[in-house]
Structure 1
Amino acid sequence: MNTTAGVSASELAVRCIRIMADGDRADFDALIHPDAVNREGDVEPPECRVGGPAGFYATALWLRTAFEGLAYEFHHVVADGNLVAVHSTMSGRHVAPFAVYDSQGVDTVFPPTGKTFAITQSHWLRLQDGRLIEHWANRDDLGQAKQLGWVPPTPAYLFRMARAKSRVRRAA
């Protein structure tokens, strides 16, 4: 078992995901390596694309703003040296606009629906020096979109999406 100060790699990986829902900045500074990279950051806001604790904390705030009651349930955690695979369910309620980005800026904005969701995810984390240094994920984005009423979109929801996208672009 790979341990750092008595904490197994599996326990450390779970803590790194759990803080996305409820950690404060100090938690991110303690658990995320200064050189950490989030391989999923290309669809996130620009402030989330920086490395280290600041980028991971910005991702947490982005998710928490859009999804009230953000929570993770852990099903399986498997560690092999400094690589840990985590199978979990993320849940929450969509209460604020959720903006997705591309290399040009804002790509799509999903206005709040007030609906709840619960989707499975697989996270892959590489650890170094007792902290997270690299993260990848596979998520059920289509399942989330269906549960939240994003797809298939109604004409009224498409109009709300266009209006929300315009607001986010103006604010950026």
Structure 2
Amino acid sequence: MSTTASVSASELAVRCIRIMADGERSDFEAVVHPDAVNREGDVEPPECRVGGPAGYYATALWLRTAFADLAYEIHHVVANGNLVAIHSTMSGRHVAPFAVYTTAGVDTVFPPTGKTFAITQSHWLRVEDGKVIEHWANRDDLGQAKQLGWVPPTPVYLFRMARAKSRAKRAA
């Protein structure tokens, strides 16, 4: 019997959210199902769009690269069978370019501002065979954008965004 088999769906879902901030690849292997799907992957880099622990870990690295001191404060957890809803606050400091993607490639790049943010999120996770197999999220993206100075953008920041997007496209 694996260690995650004795863990409740709620505990497993909370662990999956928390390891986004500081978990190792092995942590993702322990809690994420090999067939897991992240329904938020469409705006993430291509390496995040793969299924299973590899995709979830790539998402964590994408977030950690852009946001230092990444943390999740869990406020409420509600479970109904194998579906778990988590209300949380994600916080961090914007220290590196943060790129948002479409299926065609890089869409927008936000150069680092050095500013901190704290935004509420709700995560919905489905558990199967003792591991997370599906994830959806609702985030306060506008609140994050305002806190980090992305909106309303200054002319100088718009120029920095265009330059960062050009660099990201060349790197891809």
- TM-score band by shorter chain is over 0.9
Matches within 5 A, 1:127-142: 127-142=127-142
Report the Cα offset of residue 5 of structure 1.
Answer: 3.5
1:28 alignment partner AA = F
Q: Which residue of 2 aligns with 1:24?
A: 24
For the residue of structure 2 that corresponds to 1:107, the secondary structure is strand
Q: Are 1:144 and 2:136 an aligned pair? A: no
| CA RMSD of superposed structures (Å) | 0.7
For the residue of structure 1 that corresponds to 2:69, the secondary structure is strand
Q: Which residue of 1 aligns with 2:36?
A: 36
Query: Which whole-Å CA distance do the structure 2 matches of 1:161 and 1:40 have between them?
Result: 23
Q: Which residue of 2 aligns with 1:82?
A: 82
Report the Cα offset of residue 164 of structure 1.
Answer: 0.2
For the residue of structure 2 that corresponds to 1:112, the secondary structure is coil
Q: Which residue of 1 aligns with 2:103?
A: 103
Q: Which residue of 1 aligns with 2:126?
A: 126
Query: Which whole-Å CA distance do the structure 2 matches of 1:89 and 1:161 have between them?
Result: 26
1:6 alignment partner AA = S
Q: Which residue of 2 aligns with 1:160?
A: 160
Normalised TM-score (structure 2): 0.97
Q: Which stretches in structure 2 are left out of the alignment for 5+ residues?
A: none
1:53 alignment partner AA = P
For the residue of structure 2 that corresponds to 1:15, the secondary structure is helix
For the residue of structure 2 that corresponds to 1:123, the secondary structure is strand
Report the Cα offset of residue 96 of structure 1.
Answer: 0.1
Query: Which whole-Å CA distance do the structure 1 matches of 2:8 and 2:170 have between them?
Result: 46
Runs of 4+ residues deviating >6 angstroms: none
Q: Which stretches in structure 1 are left out of the alignment for 5+ residues?
A: none
Query: Which whole-Å CA distance do the structure 1 matches of 2:121 and 2:171 have between them?
Result: 31
Query: Which whole-Å CA distance do the structure 1 matches of 2:162 and 2:20 have between them?
Result: 29
Alpha-carbon distance change, 5 to 103 in structure 1, aligned in 2, over 3 angstroms: closer
